[in-house]
Amino acid sequence: MIRTKARFAALAAVVAVALLTNRAQATPVTTPAPLPNGAFGTTLSATGNAALTSASGNYRTWTNIPFIGFVSTNTGLSASSQSPSITMPNVNIANAPASATSNITYDNHAPPSNLSLNSLNADLNGAGAANQNYPFTISAGAINVSSSLGTFPLTLTVNGQITDARFDSSGTPADASSGLYSIPGTLSLTIQGTVNGSISILGIPISLGTIYTLPSTTLPIVTSLPGAMVLTDLSGGAGPYPANMKVDLLAGGIPSVNFSTSLPFSGVLATDPGGHTAGLTSLIVGAGSALNVTFTLGNPQYDLNGTLPLAVVPEPGSLAIAGLGFLAMAGLCWRKKQAA
């Protein structure tokens, strides 16, 4: 009798240890993880030049001579190749609303531990479709246009805005078991704007109007986005399960990212206005003249987060072992009753 009890007790102990061991081996769970809440920050700056290949034109003045009438005087204009620098005041983007969709794999024990970030599609300047536009102004240094009357400065200004900033992963999962990840994909800026010009002749500014209109244009850069994944059991490990789990993807101090583009300003910028008013009768800028701009996102940082159910469920093997454990304990109790 004592030997039988000992056997049942040993069986129960073995089953209990096996159950605890199997429960510790959590099941990997792969699931979509919506991240509707978030913020994005960066400082937008720009460098580059206004590369002029050549320019030519004519400036006409009129003199009203008694008994003769109006007499015109034409002054030729010309400019050789030159590339003055551009300047742009920094645009500080702080805590811009952001959102994302993602897919993650994690171990479903409590507390949960992340395994990989499988995909990430992040809208960095708006939550959902509510994108925020960020205006910028670029000014080019004076382009010197020569004439017999002196040197006339031709100036160019870009009035534009960022209409979208996003990151889309390429489909290759990123290991996040250490808490950190670097997921490959494409970071893109969408911009639009106009190039406007003016020239000052004898101290009189003459507007050249809009020289070029930049349609909505996406500037993509293939890169990897680093960050940290933090999973939090919002029940504090106390359950009951399924509980809510917070998913947080965040990063700060990311290396700067550059985007380059060219905005042409070649062509006929002025034509004869007619009449007897002094002014430009022509101004032609040579082919290939363009504003070469490199935009820089400095110190980008983001925080994207959301919640989803955390299901802590024993594996099928655990349930089978648990059943054996219950049977063993029941047998032991029955034996005790029979011996009583």
Q: Which of 304, 321, 291 is nearest to 252 (CA)?
A: 304
State how far the alpha carbon of 182 is from the alpha carbons of 84, 106, 177, 185, 305, in Å.
39, 17, 12, 10, 17
- For the chain, the C-alpha Rg in angstroms (whole number) is 35
Question: Which residue range forms the structural domain that includes residue 339?
Answer: 1-25+315-340
Of all helices (H) and strands (E), which one includes residue 22?
helix 2-24
Concatenate the DSSP letters of all residues of 210-252 into one string: EEEEEEEEEEEEEEEEEEEEEEEETTTT---SSEEEEEEEEE-
Q: How confident is the model at residue 321 (pLDDT cuts 50, 70, 90)?
A: very low
Question: Looking at the predicted structure, is the pLDDT value of residue 27 above 90?
Answer: no
Alpha-carbon dihedral angle through residues 221, 222, 226, 227, given to the nearest 10 degrees: 70
The number of distinct structural domains making up the chain is 2
Maximum distance among all Cα pairs of the chain, rounded to whole angstroms: 143
pLDDT at 191: 96
State how far the alpha carbon of 186 is from the alpha carbons of 58, 189, 218, 221, 240, in Å.
48, 10, 11, 6, 40
What is the arithmetic mean of pLDDT over 102-112? 88
What is the arithmetic mean of pLDDT over 190-215? 94
Q: Torsion-angle region of residue 67: left (phi > 0), alpha (psi -120 to 50) or beta?
A: left
Cβ–Cβ < 8 Å for 223, 254: no
- What SS3 string covers 143-212? EEEEECCEEEEEEEEEEEEEEEEEEEECCCCEECCCCEEEEEEEEEEEEEEEEEEEEEECCEEEEEEEEE
Whether residue 161 is found in the same domain as residue 203: yes
Whether residue 94 is found in the same domain as residue 3: no
Whether residue 103 is found in the same domain as residue 200: yes
pLDDT at 5: 45
Cβ–Cβ < 8 Å for 15, 7: no
Question: Looking at the predicted structure, is the pLDDT value of residue 185 above 60?
Answer: yes
Cβ–Cβ < 8 Å for 154, 143: yes
* Cα 42 → chain centroid: 10
Q: How do residues 228-267 score in pLDDT, each as one tens digit?
A: 999 999 988 888 888 899 999 999 989 999 999 999 999 9
Q: Which of 336, 321, 339 is nearest to 12 (CA)?
A: 321
Whole-number percent of the chain with pLDDT over 90: 66
pLDDT at 327: 41
Whether residue 114 is found in the same domain as residue 164: yes
pLDDT at 26: 65
What is the arithmetic mean of pLDDT over 33-38? 95
Whether residue 219 is found in the same domain as residue 286: yes
Whether residue 288 is found in the same domain as residue 321: no
pLDDT at 155: 97
Whether residue 321 is found in the same domain as residue 272: no
pLDDT at 305: 97
- Please tell me the distance from the alpha carbon of residue 173 to that of residue 321, in angstroms, as a whole number: 34
Question: Looking at the predicted structure, is the pLDDT value of residue 314 above 70?
Answer: no
Whether residue 190 is found in the same domain as residue 327: no
128 compared with 63, residue with greater pLDDT: 63
What is the arithmetic mean of pLDDT over 41-64? 95
Alpha-carbon dihedral angle through residues 335, 336, 338, 339, given to the nearest 10 degrees: 120
- Please tell me the distance from the alpha carbon of residue 156 to that of residue 140, in angstroms, as a whole number: 5
Q: How confident is the model at residue 25 (pLDDT cuts 50, 70, 90)?
A: low
Cβ–Cβ < 8 Å for 288, 262: no
Whether residue 197 is found in the same domain as residue 267: yes
Whether residue 18 is found in the same domain as residue 71: no
> Residue 106 is encoded by which pair of tokens?
């994690």
Q: How confident is the model at residue 104 (pLDDT cuts 50, 70, 90)?
A: very high
pLDDT at 95: 87
Question: Looking at the predicted structure, is the pLDDT value of residue 9 above 80?
Answer: no
Question: Looking at the predicted structure, is the pLDDT value of residue 128 above 70?
Answer: no
Whether residue 7 is found in the same domain as residue 100: no
Whether residue 131 is found in the same domain as residue 209: yes
Q: Which of 182, 167, 85, 97 is nearest to 132 (CA)?
A: 97
The whole-chain average pLDDT of the chain stands at: 85
Q: Which of 90-99, 223-232, 272-281, 315-324 has the lowest mean pLDDT?
A: 315-324
pLDDT at 311: 73
Q: How do residues 273-311 score in pLDDT, each as one tens digit?
A: 888 888 899 999 999 999 999 999 999 999 999 999 887
